[in-house]
């Protein structure tokens, strides 16, 4: 399984970015997906998740500003980031996972993509 994240960059506060995650080696029909971010000097945190059944979940700090979607045919997962704030600055990671009955079935990570929100 390979996850290739892209789309990061430098953006001004209030701006938008769309992160992409190219997923290969596993079908988006069977895996849950998530985006995490890691701010400088801090632990990695969950930003948004999407189950293969279509349910989504968002961290409180980004609700209403970020949207996670998937294109099953293309094997792509996206994170649309709007109204960006300096606190959103960090490295964003794509994650493929499946947990059933409390047990981790799989957990794959891609490399990160840097997002910097600054004027």
Of 80, 72, 96, which is closest to residue 3 (Cα–Cα)? Answer: 96
User: Which sign does the torsion angle of CA 109, 8, 72, 23 carry?
Assistant: negative
Q: How far is CA 119 from the centre of its chain?
A: 24
CB 86 within 8 A of CB 13: yes
pLDDT tens profile 36-77: 999 989 999 999 999 999 999 999 999 999 999 999 999 999
Is 95's pLDDT higher than 90?
A: yes
Q: What pLDDT does 40 receive?
A: 87
Q: What is the pLDDT of residue 74?
A: 96
- Cα–Cα–Cα angle for 28, 30, 36, nearest 5°? 60
Model confidence band, residue 112 (pLDDT cutoffs 50, 70, 90): very high
**What's the confidence (pLDDT) of residue 35?**
98
């Amino acid at each position: 399984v390979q996850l290739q994240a892209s789309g990061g960059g430098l953006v001004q506060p209030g701006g938008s970015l769309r992160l992409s995650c190219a997923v290969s080696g596993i079908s988006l029909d069977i895996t849950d997906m998530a985006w995490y971010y890691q701010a400088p000097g801090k632990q990695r945190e969950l930003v948004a998740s999407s189950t293969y059944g279509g349910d989504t979940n968002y961290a409180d700090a980004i609700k209403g500003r970020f949207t996670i979607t998937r294109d099953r045919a293309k094997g792509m997962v996206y994170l649309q980031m709007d109204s960006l704030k300096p606190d959103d600055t960090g490295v964003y990671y794509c994650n493929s996972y499946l947990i059933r009955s409390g047990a981790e079935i799989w957990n794959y990570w891609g490399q990160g993509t840097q997002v910097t929100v600054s004027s």
